[in-house]
Chains A and B, each alone.
Chain A
């Protein structure tokens, strides 16, 4: 994809910038921008984490009752509460947890396991699954979106857009259950669930196929529509019209004139998908028994386990921030180049 992003020298430029000035200013500007954005996002993340602690606090019951055993007396519960530090005010617990964060200490779960241990294999696994799904989504939506755009308002265009809308409305669990039934239990082509090997990762690569597809299909539906709409918008731009009038072949117009301008919107769409992919992972991981953070998060909520929930939030937040930042940079680069 990066190869297509080379500055488009044929594009009409409203405010030409000399090459020399651009190379001198851009890195500084980009760095400053990255810095401000990171700072803003860090503050946002801290607020979000405070919200997480506050919300867990408001849920009925607490980690002591949720992880206790049926035979425990009030005194046992009080002891457990003290052990977990739940007798201290929520603000104090939040402050303690936050001060550990910069050093990579995510605290201890209500069952006494280190949160970093709980997440150390689960989180990379989710990133792997989400990454594959994001990549597949990008490829599928770009390919189909462009294909449809080359024949605007044709039968194919209508078919792609229609299917995309239908698929986008499908919840992940419906897709997942259908995939298991058809591609595993009936045909026996692929494993039905993911089993974990000694290193904590899926025992074989083919176990990634079904969960990745279950995540990709609804997201592809969403992104195809974005790609198609962005291409249609850009196709109306004057420079595209010039290129068409110059008699350039349609695919060249698409790759050199339409696509670069549409990229910011496409990147933003994919960035939004990252959050949805991580959210969908909770459902998909359960159905495929995939060893990711989805199941960790779900059980942590049941257990009212604030350190674990906050840990998952912090990591997911960092990833989403990173991806959004990338999308912003894509926009900056493209619009910067065109300014």
Chain B
């Protein structure tokens, strides 16, 4: 598997309330061990050696830069704090912002800075520091997508401990957005000093070298007790090498190592497998605007032709769950009452006939090998839909070519996303008519209306009802075929306890980890 910036960023940006869904998923065939649970009383002390994927040439020290490496993201997340962090339920929990309130129109949000929050050099964190950091983040080339709808001039301080953020439009999910990369550094930090800027996080930087780092406990952390004395982050270019290192006891945790490594380690009693459900979506995109899949009946037929169980078993080695074509499976508001689509070849053929779909032609399905399982999913899908009479040829493209030529433009291609705990996130990014990354070229007035209503509604119950309506439309006619959800998988040595089980961004929250004696 090759790690890419996109996987990293979006997996990194992801959160995790998703546990909910899969927690009810029934018994797993293997115990996940105690790495993820809170078995016993945490012991203080010890150094945790964590392996994380990354490429030596893609290293960045800038907390507001584009973090392509898991290793960089992990190190930065342990040193610096974001305003909020992922949680289980609700999906957004306080961190540097201890509290937040919204105006009635959901445009003006006020974040209060946690009491006792200090930088590693002892200076208290002020609203000015947060404003500086948010503006710096907004000024990066990707700033507009990291803080969507928020202009730099609308980020202000009110007193010492309140930050006011005004959005261009009503946005009920703003606290969720500031979980992602809102790392806070001291006000006025110069670009050339950014790597040395003190953070406010649970660990302080001892040393950094070529993607490897040693971090020591911040005894003054406002966020609670940290058990470990230190965390050593080791950069790995390949998941195979990382798995070898864990098996040879050279590291204690192989972070986000993937299903292949988990299968390798299955026979080893001294290795714990931590599964983080709802980690990665790899849907197939069918272009709705024009082309052979523009007819909703054709898209429906493909959704009925896929064998979801087989996809999860073969592509994900069973480390995943079947999905139902609606993105945002980890959202507490995810609609579980939608009937689960299952394979129905007869119905699929009928729909294709009704739509006068040309089954004599061979269609091309574009994919990349950016993440493990993606190209395999395309190949298996092509085999499956052949039984419904649709001939598909899989075309693998090199990553850069794929994102340049196929993404957002192709008739049929695979994609992937790591932020799976928000239905609205996908709606706003990829499905609303004017969204910048409308992967399927989908335009649906009813969907747009439902979206605007949902995002502008403060009341949680009312909002959930509106989101249900939105998901029904997406289920019926969007350009996505979401067959399953991949688990995030970490491997850990037998002594490790208290690892996070949240998907996506949740995996970097290591402050609760400890080592049994």
Minimal beta-carbon separation of A282 from chain B (angstroms): 11
Contact with A along B419-463 (1 / 0, CB 8 A): 000000000010000001100000000000000000000000000
A312 to chain B: closest residue by CB: B57
Is A275 in contact with chain B by the CB < 8 A criterion?
A: no
User: Of B146, B209, B399, which one neighbours A199 at CB under 8 angstroms?
Assistant: B209
User: Is A68 a contact partner of B210 (Cβ separation < 8 A)?
Assistant: no
- The size class of the interface chain B forms with chain A is 35 or more
Is B352 in contact with chain A by the CB < 8 A criterion?
A: no
Chain B 286-325 residues near chain A, CB threshold 8 A? none
User: Is A112 a contact partner of B62 (Cβ separation < 8 A)?
Assistant: yes
A interface size (C-beta, 8 A): 54
Is B237 in contact with chain A by the CB < 8 A criterion?
A: yes
User: Of A79, A191, A200, A302, which one neighbours B210 at CB under 8 angstroms?
Assistant: A200
Is A297 in contact with chain B by the CB < 8 A criterion?
A: yes
Is B227 in contact with chain A by the CB < 8 A criterion?
A: no
Minimal beta-carbon separation of B326 from chain A (angstroms): 20
Closest 8 CB pairs of A and B: A71-B145, A299-B55, A299-B57, A61-B400, A192-B248, A192-B244, A69-B142, A289-B241
Chain A 271-301 residues near chain B, CB threshold 8 A? 285-289, 291, 295-300
User: Is A76 a contact partner of B142 (Cβ separation < 8 A)?
Assistant: yes
Given A60-B398, A72-B141, A297-B57, do A193 and B244 touch, yes or no (CB 8 Å)?
yes
Bound form: Cα–Cα A69–B236 in Å = 22
Residues of B within 8 A of A300 (CB): 57
User: Is A191 a contact partner of B68 (Cβ separation < 8 A)?
Assistant: no
20 cross-chain CB contacts under 8 A = A60-B401, A65-B404, A69-B5, A70-B145, A71-B144, A72-B145, A76-B144, A111-B66, A118-B59, A122-B56, A122-B210, A191-B250, A198-B209, A200-B212, A285-B237, A289-B236, A295-B56, A295-B237, A300-B57, A302-B399
Bound form: Cα–Cα A20–B61 in Å = 62
User: Is B214 a contact partner of A198 (Cβ separation < 8 A)?
Assistant: yes
Minimal beta-carbon separation of B415 from chain A (angstroms): 9
Is B36 in contact with chain A by the CB < 8 A criterion?
A: no
Contact with A along B210-236 (1 / 0, CB 8 A): 101010000000000000000000111
Given A118-B59, A196-B234, A287-B238, do A184 and B248 touch, yes or no (CB 8 Å)?
yes
User: Is B56 a contact partner of A71 (Cβ separation < 8 A)?
Assistant: no
Bound form: Cα–Cα A136–B141 in Å = 49
User: Is B6 a contact partner of A185 (Cβ separation < 8 A)?
Assistant: no
Bound form: Cα–Cα A112–B207 in Å = 20
Binds B, one of A28-36, A260-268, A303-311: A303-311
Chain B 168-221 residues near chain A, CB threshold 8 A? 207, 209-210, 212, 214
Residues of B within 8 A of A72 (CB): 141-142, 144-145
User: Of B5, B250, B399, which one neighbours A192 at CB under 8 angstroms?
Assistant: B250
User: Of A65, A70, A79, A303, which one neighbours B9 at CB under 8 angstroms?
Assistant: A70
User: Is B144 a contact partner of A73 (Cβ separation < 8 A)?
Assistant: yes
Minimal beta-carbon separation of B75 from chain A (angstroms): 14
Minimal beta-carbon separation of A240 from chain B (angstroms): 49
- Between B58, B62, B401, the greatest number of chain A beta carbons within 10 A of the residue's beta carbon is seen for B58
User: Is B209 a contact partner of A196 (Cβ separation < 8 A)?
Assistant: yes
Residues of A within 8 A of B236 (CB): 193, 289
